[in-house]
Amino acid sequence: MKNELLTTKQAATHIGVSISTLYRMIDKGMLVPNKTPGGQRRFSIEMLDTFLESSKKIVAPQKPFDYKKNKDLECLDVMEEKVKYNDEEKPKVDKRNVLNDLTGTEWLPSTKSYFYQKGLGSKHPHAQIEREHPAPFSFQDIESLILFFTKKGMSVLDPFGGVGSTAKACALNERVCTSIELQEKWNSLSKKRLEIEVGERTSLKHTFVNGDSRIELKKMLDSSFDFIVTSPPYWSILNKKADHKVKKERLANNLATNYSEDKDDLANIDDYNDFLEELVENVFLECGRVLKVKKYMCLVVSDFRNKSEFISFHSDLIQRLNNRKLSDGGILKLQGVKILIQNHKSLLPYGYPFAYVENIHHQYVLIFRKN
Least confident of 65-79, 158-172, 207-221, 287-301: 65-79
Q: How distant, in Å, are the alpha carbons of 150, 286, 327, 334 from that of 331?
A: 20, 12, 9, 10
The pLDDT tens digits of the residues spanning 331-357 come to 999 999 999 999 888 899 999 999 999
CA count, 13 A, side-chain hemisphere, 207: 14
Average pLDDT for 28-39:
78
Cα separation, 138 vs 124, whole angstroms:
13
What is the SS3 assignment for the chain?
A: CCCCEECHHHHHHHHCCCHHHHHHHHHCCCCCCEECCCCCEEEEHHHHHHHHHHHCCEECCCCCCCCCCCCCCCHHHHHHHCEECCHHHCCCCCCCCCCCCCCHHHHHHHHCCEEECCCCCCCCHHHHHHHHCCCCCCHHHHHHHHHHHCCCCCEEEECCCCCCHHHHHHHHCCCEEEEEECCHHHHHHHHHHHHHHCCCCHHHHCEEEECCHHHHHHHCCCCCEEEEEECCCCCCHHHCCCCCHHHHHHHHCCCCCCCCCCCCCHHHCCCHHHHHHHHHHHHHHHHHHHEEEEEEEEEEECCEEECCEEECHHHHHHHHHCCCECCCCCEEEEEEEEEEECCCCCCCCCCCCCCCCCCCCEEEEEEEEEC
The pLDDT tens digits of the residues spanning 104-137 come to 999 999 999 999 998 888 788 888 888 886 778 8
More confident call, 301 vs 70: 301
Average pLDDT for the chain: 85
Least confident of 20-24, 229-233, 316-320: 20-24
| Of 7, 115, 127, the residue nearest 336 (C-alpha) | 115
The pLDDT tens digits of the residues spanning 228-264 come to 999 999 887 755 654 454 455 544 555 444 445 668 8
Q: Is the pLDDT of residue 38 over 50?
A: yes
Task: CATH number for 5-90: choose from 3.30.70, 2.60.40, 1.10.1660, 1.10.287.
Answer: 1.10.1660
Least confident of 4-8, 25-29, 223-227: 25-29
Percentage of the chain exceeding pLDDT 70: 82
pLDDT in the model for residue 71: 40
Cα separation, 223 vs 277, whole angstroms:
23
Average pLDDT for 65-79:
42
Q: Domain-by-domain residue ranges, the chain?
A: 5-90, 114-370
**What strands, in cross-sheet order, belong to the sheet with 155-158?**
114-116, 332-341, 362-370, 291-301, 225-230, 155-158, 176-181, 207-210
Task: CATH number for 114-370: choose from 3.30.1360.120, 2.70.70.10, 3.40.50.150, 3.60.20.10.
Answer: 3.40.50.150
